[in-house]
Structure 1
Amino acid sequence: MKVAWYSCGVSSFIAAHLAKDVDRLIYCHIENQHPDSLRFLSDCEGFFRKKIEILQSEHQSVEKVVEKYRFLNSPYGAKCTNMLKKQVRKEWEKKQDEPLTYVWGYDCTEKHRADRLQESEPDITHEFPLIDANMTKEDCHKLSKKLGLKRPKMYDMGYPNNNCIGCVKGGMGYWNMIRKDFPEAFERMAKLEREIGHSCIKNCFLDELSPNRGRKPKPILEQ
C-alpha cells in the first residue's frame, strides 16, 4: 500500500501529486496549525478527488506535550514533533498488515533528511518525488499555483513553512514575527517556557527576547 503523508504544506501536496498510484493520503493534525490549513486540505481533497484521512494524537497540541514531558527541543529534534506526528504514524503502522510505501515531501535541498529517514526506517519503502525531480520549495509553490490551488495563509504572511503557529524549532527572527502576527501564541509559549524552566531559543527566554533581534525567515515566492 502506498501512502502519501500530507502535512498541509505545499511541498507535501506536490509530492503526492507527482507520485504514482497513491492509495491513501494521511494527515496528522495538530491544534496549533493555522485554521487556513484545513481549508487547504479541503482544496487538495477536491484536486485529488480523494479523501485525506486525518489522524490526531491524544495530546492534541504542542502545549499539552510540553506540559506533560517538560521538554521543548534539542539538537535531535522536538518532543512535540515526535509525539504529535511520528508516534501517531507509528501507532497507525502497527495496525497495517501489508507492505508499506511512503511518499514524502522532502525537496532537493533536504536529501540529508531523506537519507536519515531511510536509514532509521529500512523496513518501509520510501519515495521522494521532489528530490527525484530536483525540485525546490519555490518550484513546488510555482507548480501549485499553476495547478490552481491557493496556498495556506502562513506562506503569504512571510513564513517559509506552514508549521504550527509558534514552532519550537524557530529562531529569534521567527519568534519576533510570531510576536507581531500571533501575540497570544507568543505569550502562551513564553509563559510555558518559564513554567518548565527551559527555552526554545538558545540562551534566551522569549520574554527576554528583544523585538529587534534575529533575522526574519526568507519567504517563498510563487512567481
Structure 2
Amino acid sequence: MAGQAAQAATAAVTSELVSRIDALLPQTQCTRCGYPACLAYAEAIAAGDADINQCPPGGAQGIRDLAALLGRGEKPLNPANGIDKPAEIAVIDEQACIGCTKCIQVCPVDAIVGANKLMHTVLREECNGCELCIPACPVDCIVMVVDDAQSDAPHNARADHYRRRYDARNSRLARERGEHEHAIAARKAEVHAGTRSAVFEAIARARAKKEMPHP
C-alpha cells in the first residue's frame, strides 16, 4: 500500500509539472520540437527526455521561462529545431489554390476553411503560424507573413486560445470518427440482415420446391 501511495504521489507531482511546463509553451503544435504536440514535448521535458531549447515558436523568452521553472541554466535555441523569428501567419494565394483540402487536414487549430475543389482561406485571427500547411500544399500557394497583431498579443492569451482550438479540433475529429464507425457498423448490420434474409428465402424456396408433388 505504501508503495502504491508513493507511486500515486509521484505521478501527481509529475502531472502537475507537465501542466506547468505545457502552460509555458506557445501551443502552436508545430512539431518542430520533435514531438507531435506541445503537451507531448512538455511530458518529454518533465521526464528528462527532451531539452528546454527545442521550441522555435517559444523563442528565447520561452527558454528563459522554462529554465526559471525548472531551475536550469538558459541556453540558445537548438538550430536543429529552427530559428527564433517574429510571429507569422499563413496566407493562401487564392487564385492558385486548387481546393485539395490538404492544408485543412493538417491544420491543428482548424484555422483554414474551404471545401473540396473550392477556394481555401486562412482565418487570420485563428492561425497560430505552425507552418504545417506549407509542406502539405501540392502547388506551393501558401506563404508565411509577419503578423504584428500576434506579436503584440500577450503570450498567455494566445497560447490559451490555440490550446482551446486544438482541443476542439481533436474533439471534432474523435466525434467524426465515432460517427463514421457507427455508420459503417450500421451498414454492415444492414447488409448482414439482408444477406441472412436472402439466404432464408432461398432455403424456403428450395424446401417448397422439394415438397411439391411430382407429376
Normalising by structure 1, what TM-score?
0.25
Rg larger for: 2
Q: Which has the higher strand share?
A: 1
Q: Which structure's residues are more often helix, by fraction?
A: 2
